Amino acid sequence: MSEALVNQDALDELSAVIGTEKLVRIVDRFVLSLTTAFEGADRAAADYGREAHTLVSMAGMLGCAPLSRACRGLEESAKAGDDLTAPLIDLKALRDGTLAALRELRARADGAV
């Protein structure tokens, strides 16, 4: 069985700590930042690495472990000077799947995550 793109239990635990309203705002901001993440063809590897770095902990905190790991991998590849072509393709597909999962959870919860 494959790991879920978004762990609902992690979101529920975070909601219990910070409140549903604050969690919804955080998820909405995360979705907005993910929508354009890793776009642009004429960017340096270091730019992609920095962007991945900023998303690692937010993705992890919001229960998006696969995306968090992929961002960490891209960050490390960028630092190592590796070719980012294949990792970026994979990461963009994972980003899109994670966005769809977050939007679905948001819609199902009718205003609450």
Q: 65-88 burial, b if ≥16 CB within 10 A, otherwise e? A: bbbbebbbbbbebbeeeeebeebb
Structure-derived torsion over alpha carbons of residues 101, 107, 110, 113, reported in degrees to the nearest 10: 20
Residues 57-113 have pLDDT tens digits of 999 999 999 999 999 999 999 999 999 999 999 999 999 999 999 999 888 875 554
Residue 111 maps to a domain:
no
Longest pairwise C-alpha distance within the chain = 44
Residue 85 maps to a domain:
yes
Residues 45-63 have pLDDT tens digits of 999 999 999 999 999 999 9
Residue 65 maps to a domain:
yes
Q: How many domains does the chain have?
A: 1
pTM for this one? 0.90
To which H or E segment does residue 68 belong?
helix 65-80
Domain span at 62 = 8-106
Residue 2 confidence (pLDDT)? 60
Residues 10-22 have pLDDT tens digits of 999 999 999 999 9
Q: Hey, is 81 helix, strand or coil? A: coil
Residue 44 maps to a domain:
yes
Taking the chain, what is the end-to-end CA distance rounded to the nearest angstrom? 24
Query: Long-range CB contacts (< 8 A, 24+ apart) of 36-41?
Result: 37/95, 38/88, 38/91, 38/92, 38/95
